[in-house]
Amino acid sequence: MGLIEQAAKRLEELKRAGVEVPVAGDVATSNATVVAEPAVPSVPERAVRSRAEAQGPFRDRPPVAQEAATSAASVPQVGPEEPQRRSRLVEIDLQRLAAAGYVTPTAPRSRLADELRVIKRPLISNAQGRSAAPVRAANRIMITSAVPGEGKTFMAVNLAISVAMELDSTVLLIDADVARPAIPDRLGIASEMGLLDLLTRSDLDVADVMLRTNIDRLTFLGAGTPHSRATELLASEGMERLVEELASRYPDRILVFDAPPLLSSTESRVLATHMGQVVVVVEADRTPQARVTQALATIEDCPVVMTILNKIERSEAGSYYGYYGGYGSYGQ
Ligand SMILES: Nc1ncnc2c1ncn2[C@@H]1O[C@H](COP(=O)(O)OP(=O)(O)OP(=O)(O)O)[C@@H](O)[C@H]1O
Ligand SMILES: [Mg+2]
């Protein structure tokens, strides 16, 4: 069965299970180059487990950090008995970001923003438990790809900002590409401590290293201080506990992980096992179909997997359907 048939079959399965998936016809066309392809999900029984069950052993743990209850714009309410922990605020240059091709709250109308809207709608709906069948750990979304350079970081940053621009969605963007972190550069911010520090130092609290940003409802957790065992740490049990903690401590928050490629090393596949939704970015006309199939096979246990065709050259309105039909044969 070709990729397109597999995708269509699984899309049907997913729809029958009540999980929200993007509707191909909704996707705007532009040379902004991001298009949602049909989801290629597996629909194991896990997809219908309750969210509370999925939240695991940390679910009853009360929020301890002040950051948990505040958005970038709000004023901290630190009581006398509460810890004085408050995340640092960083200023993203929104003009620079927009000039680099990213969606920003100051320029919300663009083709890219429209396309991101189509992609994020099912992700948010699943994350907020609004799809007919609840998806396990659906507020944990990982962005990955088969091989390097397909647009993971571009997509992760855009998706996180785009979701944060929704009125009721708060987002934690996490740089989980710990060996080659790229997000601080893209956002034009300095980020020293982060994920790796949380994994190696018990004295640190998430709020100590998380950064609030001048984009409302968007916080950022950097990769942290470079470590010789960075990739092992990402695949460690400590990371699993940290993901559980982040997801349960901020249950109303959507976590967006910028992850390493699936086929370059194993840690991304391990990370995927802690996720409810995985977005696989596929660079159009570059990544061989066999590599995509191979990459998708490594994460087939994830409840929802969405593939996104990136960097599409489109010459005319409506050509999206041509790409949809050609999905099974690109890159050969
Ligand atoms: N849709 C797009 N439109 C314009 N530029 C893009 C798009 N997607 C990716 N790029 C650019 O392509 C380059 C590679 O993208 P990016 O760094 O996001 O890929 P990556 O998958 O994160 O790479 P790596 O595997 O090295 O982490 C970057 O310069 C990025 O800005
Ligand atoms: Mg990257």
Q: How many helices (H) and strands (E) does the chain have?
A: 13, 9
Q: Which ligand is nearest to the CA of 281?
A: 1
Mutational pocket test of ligand 1: of 153, 158, 262, the residue with most ligand atoms within 8 Å of the beta carbon: 153
Query: 177 CB under 6 A from ligand 1?
Result: yes
pLDDT of 149-190, one tens digit each? 999 999 999 999 999 998 788 999 999 999 999 999 999 999
Q: How many CA atoms lie within 13 A of 69 on its CB side?
A: 12
Query: 154 CB under 6 A from ligand 1?
Result: yes
Mean pLDDT comparison of 5-9, 31-35, 98-102, highest-scoring range: 98-102
Query: 33 CB under 6 A from ligand 1?
Result: yes
Query: 140 CB under 6 A from ligand 1?
Result: no
pLDDT of 122-132, one tens digit each? 999 999 898 88
Residue 328 confidence (pLDDT): 26
Query: 15 CB under 6 A from ligand 1?
Result: no
Q: Ligand 1, atom 8: nearest CA belongs to which residue?
A: 151
Which band of pLDDT confidence, cut at 50, 70 and 90, is reported for residue 314? Answer: low
Higher pLDDT pick, 252 / 97: 97
Q: Which ligand is nearest to the CA of 151?
A: 1
pLDDT of 200-229, one tens digit each? 999 999 999 999 999 999 999 999 999 999
CB 176 within 8 A of CB 144: no
Query: 41 CB under 6 A from ligand 1?
Result: no
Query: 330 CB under 6 A from ligand 1?
Result: no
Distance 213 CA to ligand 1 centre (A): 22
Question: pTM of the prediction?
Answer: 0.78
Residue 331 confidence (pLDDT): 26
Crossing angle of helices 289-297 and 3-16, in 10° steps, is: 30
pLDDT of 68-77, one tens digit each? 333 333 333 3
Distance 231 CA to ligand 2 centre (A): 15
As a whole number of angstroms, the distance between CA 35 and CA 201 comes to 40
pLDDT of 247-305, one tens digit each? 988 888 999 999 999 999 899 999 999 999 999 999 998 999 999 999 999 999 999 99
